[in-house]
């Protein structure tokens, strides 16, 4: 496996991939580790998560620079990601015991009926490159706290991050085999999912990858959680604070180079404020600093690779050929590296890529609607259903509209985000299941009914 710095297109390092024998040995270690780990008292598991959080904070700059070198995330955003991972560990260190406490039910006098939450075994996590630490920790912290063990198949362009995460858990004191990284190609994933030693799988990534894992796991009757991307609406009503909406919208579209499942992608704006909002959005987008991701002042770094940047531009070109208008950006930048500028499109025809596909980069698609009903219809006119953001000064209106949006999470006067305290996940082609909060830790446990006579 070779890693390339997308800011310079220079090779960083080469890693030896794990062989089939290496994978088999790792699965044996996971099985042996699980037999002991499931018996470790919750208090000890929580203490180890606190240790992991401390390591993340102590070595924050080191891990942030690793992310930035491998996938181009601006260094300030990479540092924030490491902090969020530490927060996630601390959240489950504090709340896992309560989330997994026995629940009692009515039963005849002299009997006890309850649900207890038991771990289920080794869980395979297939994770993407765009948030190479957070995506892993939001799986690992609850799963390890519950008594499961983790096997990570990370994206092939971030092997250094994968190995660093394994090192964090080892240094924190987690026993050997409780969390392992497998440096393998994607074509070995099905074999691992099918293996009797693996009891469940979770995947964040593309629709085809999710369908493949779900199909294999379903054939083996194994539970899965899938988060498969989105084309999130950002709805701006006529009574919205346009300055706040434009400022937050520019951030929500361009964070992480726009390479986020929950980025604001389709801006759906009431016709009475469409011109004013779009002007403000363009101003905010053009004020963003594009540059070296190692520079603290950079807002937008490169795309993850030349191939990703070229695919994004093909989608923009096809949309413009269909009739879309470019108000900002729209062409690869004339500089070394996989740089694409923050871009705003309007006058977007139906069924062109900017309308119907997920644009995984810094491209905002602006649509105009005449009323609330049209806004809801346009928001739901997608095969995705991950997140949504609604902007209005009328909180009752915002809550009413949120109830009609087909999405796993909706935010009113705020950008869509994941937070350890609340469930995260999608519907439709954005996947199923939930991560984080109490619901996330319950995805990979045996909800066992115990009746005591």
Give the pLDDT confidence of 95-114 residue by residue, as tens digits: 999 999 999 999 999 999 99
Tell me if residue 227 is catalytic.
Answer: yes
Residue 351, sorted as left (phi over 0), alpha (psi -120 to 50) or beta, turns out to be left
- Check residue 189 and give its pLDDT: 97
- Check residue 366 and give its pLDDT: 98
Say if residues 364 and 232 touch (Cβ distance below 8 Å): no
Residues in the chain with pLDDT values less than 70: none
- Check residue 187 and give its pLDDT: 92
Other beta carbons within 10 angstroms of residue 3's beta carbon come to: 21
Q: Tell me the CATH class for 2-228+428-452.
A: alpha beta
Query: 333 is written with which tokens?
Result: 């930048």
Which residues are bridge partners to 124 per DSSP? 151, 201
- Check residue 95 and give its pLDDT: 98
DSSP string, 136-202: HHHHHHHHHHTT-EEEEE--TT-HHHHHHHHHHHHHHTPPTTSEEE----GGGHHHHHHSTT--EEE
Q: Tell me the CATH class for 232-412.
A: alpha beta
- Check residue 108 and give its pLDDT: 97
- Check residue 29 and give its pLDDT: 98
Residue 67 and residue 74: Cα distance in Å, rounded?
Answer: 9
Instruction: Find the catalytic residue in 227, 358, 435, 443.
Output: 227
- Check residue 7 and give its pLDDT: 97
pLDDT in tens, 266-301: 999 999 999 999 999 999 999 999 999 999 999 999
- How much of the chain exceeds pLDDT 90, in percent? 100
Residue 408 and residue 90: Cα distance in Å, rounded?
Answer: 25
Residue 88 and residue 81: Cα distance in Å, rounded?
Answer: 10
Residue ranges of domains in the chain = 2-228+428-452, 232-412
Tell me if residue 261 is catalytic.
Answer: yes
Instruction: Find the catalytic residue in 85, 161, 261, 409.
Output: 261
pTM score, whole prediction: 0.97
- Check residue 267 and give its pLDDT: 98
């Amino acid at each position: 496996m070779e890693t390339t710095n997308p800011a310079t297109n220079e090779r960083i390092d080469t890693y030896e991939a794990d062989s089939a024998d290496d994978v088999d040995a790792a699965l044996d270690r996971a099985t042996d580790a699980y037999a002991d780990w499931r018996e470790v008292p919750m208090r000890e598991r929580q203490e180890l998560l606190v240790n992991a959080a401390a390591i993340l904070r102590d070595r924050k700059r080191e891990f942030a620079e690793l992310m930035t070198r491998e996938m181009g995330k601006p260094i300030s955003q990479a540092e924030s990601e490491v902090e969020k991972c530490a927060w996630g560990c601390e959240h489950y260190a504090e709340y896992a015991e309560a989330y997994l406490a026995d629940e009692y039910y009515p039963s005849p006098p002299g009997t006890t009926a309850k649900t207890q939450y038991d771990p289920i075994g080794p869980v395979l996590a297939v994770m993407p490159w765009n948030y190479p630490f957070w995506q892993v920790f939001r799986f690992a912290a609850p799963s390890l706290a519950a008594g499961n063990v983790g096997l990570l198949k990370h994206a092939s362009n971030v092997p250094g991050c994968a190995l660093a995460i394994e090192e964090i858990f080892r240094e924190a004191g987690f026993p050997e085999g409780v969390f392992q990284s497998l440096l393998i190609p994607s074509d070995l994933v099905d074999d691992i999912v099918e293996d009797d030693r693996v009891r469940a799988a979770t995947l964040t990534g593309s629709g085809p990858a999710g369908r493949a894992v779900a199909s294999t796991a379903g054939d083996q009757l194994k539970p899965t959680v899938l988060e498969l991307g989105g084309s999130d609406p950002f709805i701006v009503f006529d009574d919205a604070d346009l300055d706040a909406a434009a400022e937050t919208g520019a951030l929500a579209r361009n964070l992480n180079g726009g390479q986020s499942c929950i980025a604001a992608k389709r801006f759906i704006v009431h016709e009475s404020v469409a011109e004013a909002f779009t002007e403000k959005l363009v101003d905010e987008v053009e004020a963003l600093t594009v540059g070296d991701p190692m520079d603290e002042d950079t807002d937008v770094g490169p795309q993850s690779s030349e191939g990703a940047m070229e695919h994004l531009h093909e989608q923009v070109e096809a949309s413009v050929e269909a009739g879309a208008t470019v108000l900002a950006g729209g062409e690869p930048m004339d500089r070394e590296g996989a740089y694409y500028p923050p871009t705003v499109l309007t006058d977007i025809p139906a069924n062109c890529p900017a309308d119907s596909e997920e644009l995984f980069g810094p491209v905002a698609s602006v649509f105009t609607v005449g009323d609330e009903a049209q806004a809801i219809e346009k928001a739901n006119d997608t095969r995705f259903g991950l997140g949504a953001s609604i902007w209005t000064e009328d909180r009752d209106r915002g809550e009413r509209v949120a109830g009609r949006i087909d999405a796993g999470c909706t935010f009113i006067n705020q950008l869509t985000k994941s937070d350890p305290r609340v469930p995260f996940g999608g519907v439709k082609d954005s996947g199923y299941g939930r991560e984080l909060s109490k619901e996330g830790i319950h995805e990979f446990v045996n909800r066992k009914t115990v009746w005591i006579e």
